[in-house]
Amino acid sequence: MKELGLHGMKSHDCHVFMQKFTSIAFREVLPQLIWSALIEVSLLFQILCSTMLDVKKVQELETSVTTILCNLEKIFPPTFFYSMEHLIVHLPYEECVGGPVQYRLMYPFERFLLYLKMNVKNKAHVETSIVEAYLVEEIGLFTSHYFELQILCKRNRPRKNDELFMNETRIQRL
């Protein structure tokens, strides 16, 4: 079974795989009613997660999302539906108001929290260590504005391949 698995996929690759290919894979296995409902949900999230905001498609989704949920309620038992499943009704409106979803995702903040959690020294007081790591990072950034330009720090270090040639001498851009 290990030979048939998919290895080395990033989270975005798995997301695309689930959106595009699993709906096709279940076509022959599931009954038509169940398969068509799952396809509708898949298309709903494909439109909502697209990088370009097509207002007409989103407005069509706003009217058809209730029928999609009704089709799902016909298939799945009532215990499947909590409040989270019914929040799908509000997603097209949120897309119209807030714009494309990639600008509102939590991934950058989660990555930053991971960076802060890696700096935790005291495992007994994790929250305090995270706050201290964040303060050290911020203080270092703000005090670097007062350093002279000759002192290299995180704010003014030269980027890769960023050099100027002036007066036949090599000067790094700061």
pLDDT tens by residue, 23-61: 778 888 888 888 888 888 888 888 888 888 888 988 898
CB distance 82 to 130 below 8 Å: no
- Give CA–CA dist 75/17, Å, rounded: 24
pLDDT on residue 64: 92
Question: In a 3-state reduction of DSSP, which class is residue 76?
Answer: coil
CA distances from 112 to 72, 108, 155 (A): 37, 6, 18
The pLDDT, as a whole number, for residue 11 is: 67
pLDDT at site 173: 45
Q: State CA 92 to chain mean position distance.
A: 18
Amino acid at 149: L
The number of helices, as runs of H, and strands, as runs of E, in the chain is 7, 2
User: 21 pLDDT band (50/70/90 cuts)?
Assistant: confident
Q: What is the mean pLDDT of residues 121-150?
A: 84
Average pLDDT of every residue of the chain: 78
Q: What's the average model confidence in pLDDT over 137-141?
A: 86
CB 119 within 8 A of CB 129: yes
Rounded Cα–Cα distance for residues 113 and 123 (Å): 15
Query: Is the separation of the CB atoms in 67 and 43 below 8 Å?
Result: no
Q: What is the pLDDT of residues 54-85, one digit of tens each?
A: 889 888 989 999 999 888 888 888 888 777 77
What is the rounded CA–CA span in Å between residue 81 and residue 76?
Answer: 8
What is the phi/psi pair of residue 147, to 5°? -75, 155
Of 170 and 16, which is predicted with more confidence? 16
Q: What pLDDT sits at residue 160? A: 66
Q: Is there a contact between 101 and 48 (Cβ–Cβ < 8 Å)?
A: yes
Under the banding of pLDDT at 50, 70 and 90, the label for residue 174 is: very low
Q: What is the pLDDT of residues 86-135, one digit of tens each?
A: 888 888 888 888 888 777 777 777 888 888 888 888 888 888 888 888 89
Beta strands per DSSP E along the chain: 163-166, 169-172
